[in-house]
Amino acid sequence: MPRQILITGGASGIGLAIAKSFAACGDRVLATGFDAGQVDQQAELFATDSHNSPELSFTVLDVTQPAQIESLIHSLPTLDVLVNCAGTIRRGGMEFDLDAFQQVVDVNLHGTMRMCVGCKPKLAERGGCILNIASMLSFFGSGYVPAYSASKGGIAQLTKSLAIAWAAEGIRVNAVAPGWIETALTDPLVNDASRREAIVGRTPLSRWGTPEDVAGAAMFLCSPAAAFITGVVLPVDGGYSIM
């Protein structure tokens, strides 16, 4: 029987790759995005490709808005898997501004908690699972993006805490921690030959990751094969974080 999957931040990058992977397996997927234009564009692109699954749909959601979250969850008759991929980052030293710091944490950490709490009743009905998106910066700091790093460190501990709290209700909670993944967010580094090669040089598997690499790990953690796994934060970084 197809499962119902809800993926925030599913209109681009890693979230989109995860959404496509679930849909390709026959699941019903609702992917959300913050930017209405991007969501509409992705929906149109997906609808015009006959090779794509009709079970993947897109909608707009701002994870900082509780009323939007409540309305969206209420619209779903059931829910088997929640993937929290909505996130933001402010580069160029902007995260040292307290307002910007708060905005990043509100999306990345508070938004994840809002979704988890809101979806919990429906997930409990189905023995469902939650997958959060952490980061390599969950394990070590960054002098450039303190809010992003703090929020992703928080995601790691939130994942473990909810795994303990909700295990008795049959809800598994895990996370993946991507390393250097080629997406629109990392384009400036990918296009900088010296920095790109420096990252490759430190990565034991000697390459950048792809969104599909992360999607593979996500699919495993949300599958019956991972039925005895909860509270795990799984690095998907080619070994970068062990160096």
How deeply is 227 buried, as exposed, middle or buried, from its count of CB atoms within 10 A (0-12, 13-18, 19+)?
exposed
For residue 64, with 0-12 CB atoms within 10 Å meaning exposed, 13-18 middle and 19 or more buried, which class applies? middle
Q: 41, 111, 118: which is closest to 75 by C-alpha? A: 118
The active-site residue, picked from 148, 166, 180, 240, is 148
CA angle 35, 47, 71 (to 5 degrees): 45
- 143-179 residues labelled b (16+ CB within 10 A) or e (exposed): eebbbbbbbbbbbbebbbebbeebeeeebbbbbbbbb
How many alpha carbons lie under 13 Å from residue 176 in its C-beta half-sphere? 26
Q: Is 144 a catalytic residue?
A: no
- Cβ-proximal residues to 216 (8 Å cutoff; 6+ apart), any chain: 21
Query: Cα(111)–Cα(126) distance, rounded to whole angstroms?
Result: 23
Tokens of 8: 């925030």
Evaluated on CA atoms 1, 224, 116, 242, the torsion sign reads negative
Whole-number Å distance between alpha carbons of 31 and 50: 19
Query: What residues are labeled active site?
Result: 148
